[in-house]
Amino acid sequence: METAAPARVQALAETGVSRLPAQYIQPPEHRPAHPSSSPVPAALSVPVVDLSSPTAADAVRAACADWGAFHVVGHGVPGELLDAVRGAGLAFFRAPMEDKLRFACDPARGAAAEGYGSRMLANDDSVLDWRDYFDHHTLPESRRDPAHWPDFVPGYRDTIVKYSNSMKDLAQRLLHIISGSLNLPPSYIEEAIGVVYQNITISYYSPCPQPDLALGLQSHSDMGAITLLIQDDVGGLEVLKDGMWIPVAPLPDGILVILADQTEIITNGRYKSSVHRAVVNAERARLSVATFYDPSKSRKICTAPQLVSKDEPQKYRDVIYGDYVSSWYSKGPEGKRNIDALLIQP
């Protein structure tokens, strides 16, 4: 485990620091209140899809085409489980630092190692996010070792296992609907992804002394196939839509679906991955739980041939997923989409 742990944002915030340390200050063009940010029309908000409705498939199709992100309700995941995973995460971050550090990431294992951490990128020059996190490796089950997860929060490990299984079922259900909405066989995207690699990342955004200069999470699109996210009642997540940053209002029992880059490749750009970020505030800590549904590093991701034609030529080169991940972690999001590097005709 870590011997020389990097600074934890939470520990820094709790010292009562009044000025943001330089390594957390975003360049002006990436700051939340940059003058180029357009005012958001009041009526513009992320779609909400009721999966129990007979019109759910049509609503998913429209949300994927127009937004790349949408809330689902009527999804069948008990509200008690959503509350339990949020509660477990909050209990971890409220625990004494010495308890948390027992489960710190091992930097020798590279970027995105499992455990308690504060920086994911291998690039030392990158601006740091105002965030701490705990990353769990949950699928395939051969990667799942609850001994790597906190033992001092009652029920924590069982809750993560239940949540992992529930999110896998929901992700597969959604991918079936998404495939069908493009007239592909329902299992097409699931089969294109292959063996599912699932990580669950609980993020904790401490109050920030100068929130106008920082970001909890820099602008990016997710690397894998689909991400399922829940948040608390504080708010701070924003998605990019038509050049505007749209706040994603917390929905207590809603689960936010975020399309990721491999789905954009498979769908030949019919459905685009969602660019999103997290802003912070000076008063209240915020917690979110993101579940990533990704291919294995050795999987080759290709555009569905059914979605390629003379009128709609293939947009993206095929890619080995592990190569894509390595590129992301070495360069960082840089406020833009890594997927653009795969464009056949930029």
Q: Give the whole-angstrom CA distance, residue 23 versus residue 7.
A: 11
Considering only residues 35 and 106, tell me which one the structure prediction assigns the higher pLDDT: 106
Q: Give the chain's radius of gyration (CA, Å).
A: 19
Do the Cβ atoms of 6 and 119 come closer than 8 Å?
yes
> pLDDT at position 34, please?
57
Residue 208, token pair as written in the block: 């920030």
Q: How many other C-beta atoms can be found within 10 angstroms of the C-beta atom of residue 95?
A: 13
pLDDT tens for each residue of 290-307: 999 999 999 999 999 999
> pLDDT at position 1, please?
36
With left for phi above 0 and alpha for psi between -120 and 50, is residue 342 left, alpha or beta? Answer: alpha
Q: Give the whole-angstrom CA distance, residue 123 versus residue 253.
A: 36
Burial class (CB within 10 angstroms; exposed 0-12, middle 13-18, buried 19+) of 41 = exposed
Q: Give the whole-angstrom CA distance, residue 190 versus residue 186.
A: 8
- Mean pLDDT in the chain? 92
Q: What is the mean pLDDT of residues 8-29?
A: 95
Q: Give the whole-angstrom CA distance, residue 41 versus residue 44.
A: 6
Do the Cβ atoms of 20 and 210 come closer than 8 Å?
yes
Q: Positive or negative CA dihedral for 165, 57, 272, 253?
A: negative
Above pLDDT 90, what percent of the chain? 84
Residue 289, token pair as written in the block: 């739980």
The band of 110, judged by pLDDT with boundaries at 50, 70 and 90, is low
Q: Give the whole-angstrom CA distance, residue 227 versus residue 258.
A: 5
Question: End-to-end alpha-carbon separation of the chain, Å?
Answer: 43
pLDDT tens for each residue of 176-192: 999 999 999 999 999 99
Strand partners, 199: 137, 292
The residue count of the chain comes to: 346
The band of 346, judged by pLDDT with boundaries at 50, 70 and 90, is low
Q: Give the whole-angstrom CA distance, residue 321 versus residue 224.
A: 8
> pLDDT at position 42, please?
62
pLDDT tens for each residue of 73-102: 999 999 999 999 999 999 999 999 999 999
